Amino acid sequence: MGRKSVCIVGGGLAGLSTAYHLLIKGVKDITLIELSDRVGGLLKSEVISGYTFDVGGSHILFSKNLRTLNEMLNLLKWDVVKHYRNAKIFYKGTFVKYPFENGLGDLPPEERFECVWDLINTYVKRVKGELPQPKNFREWIVYVFGNAIASKYLIPYNEKIWKVDLSEVSLEWVEGRIPNPPLEDVVKSAVGLSVEGYTHQLNFYYPSSGGIESLAKALSKEIVNEGVEVLLNKPVKLIRKSINGKLLVEAEGVEKVCDAVVFTAPLNRSAEVLSELLNDLSNSLKALRSIPLAVVGLAVRGEALPYHWVYFPSSKELFHRVAILSNFSRSNAPEGGVALIAEVSFRSLDEMNAVSDDELIHKVYQDLEGSGLVRNPKLEFGVVRRWADAYIIYDTIRSSVLKEVVNKLRIYGVYPHGRFGSWEYLNMDAVYEKSAKLADEVVTYLTRAS
């Protein structure tokens, strides 16, 4: 293969883990170019006055693929806490076990009956073929769960987080993500027997200290020790074809010539960066839709209920989810303190930026007090971090734009990758796995090109 070079745009998990896997496969000349002042992307944690906040939202380590999970835990040297999930849904002033269909026993008898009866009727009609096939996420929810569970929890919660009409969300989003509940489990939960759903994340891990950023730091250490050049505060502005089939990556104040590029920056904001490679097609990237997110961290004195996280489907509370990080690791807050983060999504960046940090902290704290999640609470301080892109909307435009763009970029040796580079709703395990596969592809490309 000779001495071939790879540039990686973006130092989130996708960029870091691709560098790591490329090194394992013998590629030594790697430059990782990151826009911000440190690597990690969404996996950033901040420690303020002894409170640790995962400022990119609540992150836990889990995977259906044990090998992947073990590899991530090995990187953390198993300095982790293992948990059995204790998550709730705040429904009409009470905490109902998560997922909702497995927590029906926590509802009043009338609502329990309504949910089970509706689910059974829907099930029978579905089996008899009397229900039309669902065409979008909204229809799918009703088709699988029946109207009662849909209208009490699944539709309001998902509308709150996605900020779009769920009929705009395609079925592609659902596939493999939301398990169909076994009827038997739902009936058991309604009569008060204990059952678990979403079992792939029933047991999860979390770093003992330092928050989720520990994973990014561990990867960063590995790759820097092996000689990867990491450039910080360098937003990539343009990628161009250069001579001899090479690529020129122009970032602020620096230019790099590489044989291949792994591109993990958000595609929807990369029309300019990719304009020379994509020509007219680059404008189509602007049509990709995502949801911005504000993460509001609160340091609170008091006693938190023992939950890991709680979903809030009602429009009364501003946030859709609160994670109590001091229940993930005791080292996330000082004695007598509670570290928590609330996630608040917005329709647009303008809508998010119209709300000040103080307003967000005030409203989040007020809603938190109302929920009773922390007993005898006293706010110490709050922090707000904003993310332009957090959730990718799987609408009909997405797949058509992606296919063309990805095919064209690959011809030049540019590999879109990661949650925002490949515009896929990927969790950390999927990103890590895909990085290993991508490293193989890049090595094959480099070998062919030599």
Residue numbers at the binding site for ligand FAD (CB under 6 A): 9-15, 33-36, 41-43, 57-60, 235-236, 264-265, 273, 293, 343, 390, 418-420, 426-429, 431
Nearer to ligand FAD, 377 or 418 (CB): 418
CA-wise closest residue to 33 among 270, 330, 257, 231: 231
Q: Smaller CB distance to ligand FAD: residue 102 or 268?
A: 268
d(C-alpha 72, C-alpha 432), whole Å: 8
Please say which residue, 219 or 304, places its beta carbon nearer to ligand FAD.
Answer: 219
| Type and span of the H or E element at 13 | helix 13-24
The DSSP output letter for 98 is S
Nearer Cβ to ligand FAD, position 95 or 328? 328
Rounded Cα distance between 75 and 392, Å, is 28
Nearer residue to ligand FAD within complex by CB, 145 or 162? 162
* Cβ-based nearer residue to ligand FAD, 126 or 269: 269
Q: Which residues contact 351 (CB under 8 A, 6 or more apart)?
A: none
Nearer to ligand FAD, 144 or 384 (CB): 384
Q: How far is the CB of 228 from ligand FAD (least distance, A)?
A: 15
Q: Report CA 68 to chain centroid distance, whole Å.
A: 17
Shortest Å distance, C-beta 246 to ligand FAD = 19
Residue nearer to ligand FAD on the CB measure, 58 or 214? 58
- Name beta bridge partners: 82: 205
Task: Find the shortest distance in angstroms from Cβ 201 to ligand FAD.
Answer: 8
From CA 9, how far away is CA 414, in angstroms rounded? 10
Scanning 150-274, the segments in alpha helix (DSSP H) are 155-162, 183-190, 213-225
- In the complex with ligand FAD, the residue whose CB is nearer, 63 or 189, is 63
Residue 268 CB, shortest distance to ligand FAD, in Å, is 11
> Which helix (DSSP H) or strand (DSSP E) does residue 32 occupy?
strand 29-33
DSSP 331: G
Q: Taking a C-beta distance cutoff of 8 angstroms, is the pair 325, 332 a contact?
A: yes
Which H helix or E strand runs over 202? none
CA pair distance 114, 109, nearest whole angstrom: 9
CB of 40 to ligand FAD, least distance (A): 7
Closest contact distance (angstroms) between CB of 402 and ligand FAD is: 15
Tokens 């395990």 -> residue: 429
The position carrying tokens 């489990």 is: 185
Strand partners, 299: 339, 381
d(CA 209, CA 243): 47
Decide whether 146 or 207 has the Cβ nearer to ligand FAD: 207
Q: Count Cβ atoms below 10 Å from residue 109 Cβ, excluding itself.
A: 8
Residue 247 CB, shortest distance to ligand FAD, in Å, is: 14
Instruction: Please provide the DSSP assignment of 140-176 as one string.
Output: HHHHHHHHHHIIIIIHHHHHHHH-S-GGGS-GGGTTT
Residue 12: CB minimum distance to ligand FAD, A: 2
Closer of 63 and 122 to ligand FAD (Cβ): 63
Q: How far is the CB of 251 from ligand FAD (least distance, A)?
A: 6
**Dist CA 4 CA 26 (whole Å):** 10
Nearest-approach distance from CB 349 to ligand FAD, in angstroms: 15
Cis peptide before 99 (omega within 30 of 0): yes
- Choice between 252 and 351, CB closer to ligand FAD: 252
Look up residue 390 and give its two tokens: 């957090």
Smallest separation, CB 119 to ligand FAD (Å): 28
Sheet with strand 414-416: strands edge to edge: 229-231, 29-33, 5-9, 260-263, 414-416
Residue ranges of alpha helices (H) inside 249-380 are 275-278, 349-353, 357-371
CB of 230 to ligand FAD, least distance (A): 11
